[in-house]
Amino acid sequence: MKEMWDERYAVDEYFYGVQPNRLLQSVVGILPSQANVLCIGEGEGRNAVFLSRLGYKVTAIDFSIEAKKKAEELARKNKVSLDYQVYPIEDFYFGEKKWDAIISIFCHLSISIRGQAHKHIESALKTNGLFISQSYSPEQMKFKTGGPKDPSMLYSESLIQSDFTKFHWIRLEKVRSEILEGKGHTGLSSVINAIGLKKEY
């Protein structure tokens, strides 16, 4: 898997483009000023660079060294800096109550690591911290406009609700949307939009 992504990213073209995800753009105003933000599965850096340009302190993780190179080049072009760390998500130490926001844009995890990773995300957010996610739903299999070919890696509203039990959901919805992000996401898609606020009960 890592080799596949390294090969995909080891070209000049940005596979998912350089513009930030539209869901993230539409909700970024809810983040506190100077928020400490973690972007997981960040790939070529488009969302992390966008957040850095807005003045947030951004850490990005991905397991592809080629993705990091592309992200750092994009950051240089935009005159911002990133803390970009190369880790498999299952080996990354998220910390406890460390982040004001965690961003997961099309970061689809295998069943073997997803549950534990989601627990780490929940624990790593501060109280009132935000989880902002967009992912493909199982319905995406019929559109074939991006995303995993393995249906077990696709997300549903019920899966997200069961994995994250400390979140108050500001938004949790399945929608059909035109996703146009480079050549990797290329048309009508079925996505899960999730914005959760961490509460301690």
How many percent of the chain have pLDDT more than 70?
Answer: 100
List the structure tokens of 199: 């509460």
pLDDT tens digits, one per residue of 110-164: 999 999 999 999 999 999 999 999 999 999 999 999 999 999 999 999 999 999 9
Question: Alpha helices, DSSP H only, in the chain?
Answer: 2-9, 22-27, 46-53, 65-77, 111-124, 157-163
In order of start, what are the domains of the chain with their CATH numbers? 1-9+33-92 (3.40.50.150), 97-201 (3.40.50.150)
Give pLDDT, residue 2: 86
- Residue 25 region by backbone torsions, left for phi larger than 0, else alpha for psi between -120 and 50, else beta: alpha
Q: What is the mean pLDDT of residues 74-83?
A: 97
pLDDT tens digits, one per residue of 160-196: 999 999 999 999 999 999 999 999 999 999 999 999 9
Give pLDDT, residue 1: 80
List the structure tokens of 45: 């850096």
Q: Is the pLDDT of residue 100 over 70?
A: yes
Q: Are 70 and 18 in contact (CB under 8 A)?
A: no
